[in-house]
Structure 1
Amino acid sequence: MSQSPQPPLWQSGREQLRLLAHALRTPSHPPTAVLASARNPWLRRLPYVVVFAAIAVLLPVTVTVLSQDYGISGPAAGGLAVAQTAPLLLALTRPLQAWWIVFAADVIGAAAMINGAEGAAGRSWPWTPMVVVGYLLLMALLGLRESRRTLVAVWLATGAASVLFEMIRSDLSDGVWVLLFTLSGAILAVTGALRERGDVQRRLDAQETISEAERARRTLLEERTRIARELHDVVAHHMSVITVQADSAPYRIQGLPAGAREEFGAIAASARESLTEMRRLLSVLRSEETDGELAPQPGIARVQQLVEATVRAGVPAELSLSVDGAPVPQTVDLSAYRIVQEALANVVRHAPGATTRVSLTSDGTHLTVVVVNGPADTASPPGPPLESAGTGHGLVGMRERVRLTGGTLDTGPLPDGGFRVAARLPLTTPEDPNRPRVPESDLDGG
């Protein structure tokens, strides 16, 4: 004869009891002290001070009251007092284990008082005032560390023990168990809510940290991708010129020997092969929406337009340009323009109305770009962006561009509240074997 299936309600209730029993056996946190993550050292020591003070007061009082008022022998009173108060120190790191010890000691103490009913008559039973105070402190420590299911299980166990003693000797009870049951539930609810709020805040902080790191990484990759595209345009232009010149050399130069013609042909073939390989490697960086990048890349010649746009945005700016006669490589030319663009965009966004000076000078070997702004004019509202084609990546993009050209970058606030951006870009490629090379991963955006 088959056994009839159990009702769903009974199965659900049994499962909940199993989960509660498991919660009472298994701590939900590692054995770390309360407020161990606090930055203030005095705040980290506060729980220890409170617990030591509570033990110092409750231990002698419990021994005296149990022996004199409840008629329990001295050794038994001392043992119960130690078991009911000393585990509070353990509760700082392992509150669930401490609760088991204190709870068992409180139950044994209440049972021992039944034998001396004459001493317990007219006094608090089954829980003495010292038990109530120590137990509520234990509930606070427990609520700050354990999970919600564990707190519910502890609260129900407290109520079950209280009701059991009420059923055994209701004539001795003065209703203190109702007070303990109510206050312990309130403290568990408040401290549990504080713990959950702290957990949520820590998870949010961790997520924000991860998001910020991911944002910085994405910004870096986007800027590297843009630099790789611009580098592709620069290198492709010069390689195309080399190819055309090598192919046309035999027709432009009369009387070339056969060896020279073959050499020019080999140069043209190598240039075409290099172009093909470079385009294959960087093809992933090319999207279909590149209409805005078909225009010639800007350079130092357009810095004057940037300064004028800054003035129109409400920032008094002046330009000092001293690069006449100095040949500027296309990568340095573009990098200098982008550095000035980002620096001026930051002034418009973060220091509206600040007096700004832009200086570009060269000594034949290096191009120095300096953008210095004063403190923001609080009466000036933030202006519109200088160019929609700007990278918008600020100092990250500047550092990547300067690193790509082998230069140096110095940025930082000024004592008067302003900000300074200074870049030194080489105009020639030094034949220095110790000069750091740009990894190939940087050229393909990776």
Structure 2
Amino acid sequence: MRHTPLAFVRDLFTPAGPPEPLLGRSGRVFVRRLPYGVAFLFVVILLPVTASLLFREYGMNTALALAFAVAQTVPLLVAVRRPLLAWAIAFWADVACAMATPPRPELPGGIAWPWSPPVIIGLLLLMFAVGLRERPRTSVAVWGLVTGAGAVLESVVSPRGGTGTWVLPVVLGGMLMLLGGALRKSSTAQRALAEQETISEAERARRTLLEERTRIARELHDVVAHHMSVITVQADSAPYRIAGLPEEAREEFGTIAATARESLTEMRRLLGVLRSAEPSGAAEADGRAPQPGVARIPQLVEATVRSGLPVELSMPDPLPGALPQTVDLSAYRITQEALANVVRHAPGAATRVSVSVDDEGGSLMVLVVNAPAPDGDAPPLETGGTGHGLVGMRERVRLVGGTLDTGPLPDGGFRVAARLPFGTETEEESPTA
């Protein structure tokens, strides 16, 4: 597709983005309002100075001098949102004013022309704003027009010649536009980096959640597969264990056993899909290892103590029997993650682990409380937490319809309390402390 010269020029002088205020993305109100204050201050100073200078030094009548002064200075307020439009208005007003006041014999010989000092200040401010907001090619076009207009006015329009003031916007304005472009590129890069960090953090949280759910799915497979295997064995052996079964009952038991075996096969296929994304060795090792439960919490505490964390364990003796497997496994995983968080964030802190059975409510209570890290010990292994470990805890509690309460303590410690009901009733998770 071929572009016409008019389309090229229109594209060249099209603003790079929406009319967003300069520094409008800052989080501080003072910074966001600063460009408006600076623009207003320069308008208040330059407007009367420009009008007075045109009237006294250049011999322009009062009304025309005031009109040119407004056209040359008020666009500074527009530049906060639309720098390119503001520059266009002020620039052509400057050119028209210079052509209306060419050097004449009756005027003082040292008068600044084609650009007066207020005009130079306004042009420099507008060129800097254009460099901050617009694309490099637009900035080059603006600089070229300022250079060309000054050179033409200096050499062609004035019969006596000017005083060379057109060079100042060319040199200083070019430097300011380069500075503005560099600041613009730096700001764009910082915003892109901040957005990428936000996206990465969200993706990391999502990945952690999916990994925890995948692990829960694998553990659920082991739990359900156990019960389905029992059903299959009982259904297959029923005709041999129970004498005098009618033929219809034998066929019914055979159908139950076949359905259970088919369900086990489908679950194994699904588990294979879940494990296909993992290293084969890790998947096989995980598949062969028995799933831990409440009975292994003392071993977990013992290993944590060996790592240098003083832990006190309180559990019923004997251990509660016939716990649902999901509750048994969830209690172990929650305790494991809570102790890992203490090791990471408060090494050396005194910790208390309590596992108890609420007979009235029919639930298992897991409580892990740690004191603040003692003074003089090694600094935390992690100074900031992402909360991803708590995500897994909440998923496991939600799986069994329990409640989870986590949060800091007044003395600086931390508390994790989970209630895991034995039944299947669902309850809303309690708000975080």
Task: Tell me the TM-score normalised to structure 2 length.
Answer: 0.89
**Hey, what's the Cα distance between the residues in 1 that align with 2:406 and 2:262?**
41
CA contact (8 A) 1:113 1:120 kept: no
Are 2:242 and 1:249 aligned? Answer: no
RMSD: 2.5
**Hey, what's the Cα distance between the residues in 1 that align with 2:299 and 2:339?**
12
**Hey, what's the Cα distance between the residues in 2 that align with 1:154 and 1:350?**
56
**Hey, what's the Cα distance between the residues in 2 that align with 1:65 and 1:334?**
86
* Letter matched to residue 210 of structure 1: I
- Go from structure 1 to structure 2 and tell me whether the alpha carbon gap of 1:382 and 1:73 turns closer, same or farther (over 3 Å shift): closer
Partner of 2:411: 416
- Counterparts of 1:311-390 in structure 2, within 5 Å, are 311-322=305-316, 324-364=319-359, 365-381=362-378
* Letter matched to residue 44 of structure 1: R
Partner of 2:43: 55
**Hey, what's the Cα distance between the residues in 1 that align with 2:248 and 2:353?**
53
Report the Cα offset of residue 78 of structure 1: 1.7
**Hey, what's the Cα distance between the residues in 2 that align with 1:213 and 1:427?**
34
Equivalent of 2:191 in 202, 206, 213 = 202
Partner of 2:33: 45
CA contact (8 A) 1:319 1:357 kept: yes
Amino-acid identity (%) = 60
Partner of 1:156: 144
Equivalent of 1:303 in 289, 297, 309 = 297
Are 2:232 and 1:233 aligned? Answer: no
CA contact (8 A) 2:315 2:356 kept: yes
- Counterparts of 1:181-196 in structure 2, within 5 Å, are 181-196=170-185
**Hey, what's the Cα distance between the residues in 2 that align with 1:407 and 1:271?**
29
**Hey, what's the Cα distance between the residues in 1 that align with 2:297 and 2:88?**
75
Report the Cα offset of residue 321 of structure 1: 0.8
Using CA pairs under 8 Å that are at least 6 residues apart, name the structure with larger relative contact order, 1 or 2: 1
Task: Tell me the TM-score normalised to structure 1 length.
Answer: 0.86
Report the Cα offset of residue 62 of structure 1: 0.9
CA contact (8 A) 2:104 2:160 kept: no
- Go from structure 1 to structure 2 and tell me whether the alpha carbon gap of 1:320 and 1:76 turns closer, same or farther (over 3 Å shift): same
**Hey, what's the Cα distance between the residues in 2 that align with 1:24 and 1:179?**
24
* Letter matched to residue 229 of structure 1: R
- Go from structure 1 to structure 2 and tell me whether the alpha carbon gap of 1:109 and 1:383 turns closer, same or farther (over 3 Å shift): closer
- Go from structure 1 to structure 2 and tell me whether the alpha carbon gap of 1:107 and 1:413 turns closer, same or farther (over 3 Å shift): same
- Go from structure 1 to structure 2 and tell me whether the alpha carbon gap of 1:110 and 1:20 turns closer, same or farther (over 3 Å shift): farther
CA contact (8 A) 2:205 2:388 kept: no
Segments of 4+ moved more than 6 angstroms: 17-20, 382-385
SS in 1 for 2:65: helix
- Go from structure 1 to structure 2 and tell me whether the alpha carbon gap of 1:346 and 1:235 turns closer, same or farther (over 3 Å shift): same
* Letter matched to residue 375 of structure 1: P
CA contact (8 A) 2:351 2:368 kept: yes
* Letter matched to residue 312 of structure 2: E
Partner of 1:5: none
Report the Cα offset of residue 22 of structure 1: 4.5
CA contact (8 A) 1:23 1:153 kept: no
- Go from structure 1 to structure 2 and tell me whether the alpha carbon gap of 1:331 and 1:229 turns closer, same or farther (over 3 Å shift): same
CA contact (8 A) 2:320 2:357 kept: no
CA contact (8 A) 1:20 1:149 kept: no
CA contact (8 A) 2:400 2:424 kept: no
CA contact (8 A) 1:23 1:149 kept: no
SS in 2 for 1:176: coil
Deviations 1:193-225 (A, max 9, x none): 112111110011111111111111111111111
Report the Cα offset of residue 87 of structure 1: 1.3
Partner of 1:211: 200
Q: How many residues align?
A: 412
Equivalent of 2:88 in 91, 97, 100 = 100
Are 2:285 and 1:292 aligned? Answer: yes
- Go from structure 1 to structure 2 and tell me whether the alpha carbon gap of 1:117 and 1:423 turns closer, same or farther (over 3 Å shift): farther
Equivalent of 1:122 in 84, 87, 110 = 110
Deviations 1:148-202 (A, max 9, x none): 2211211121111122122224844223222222111121122221121111100
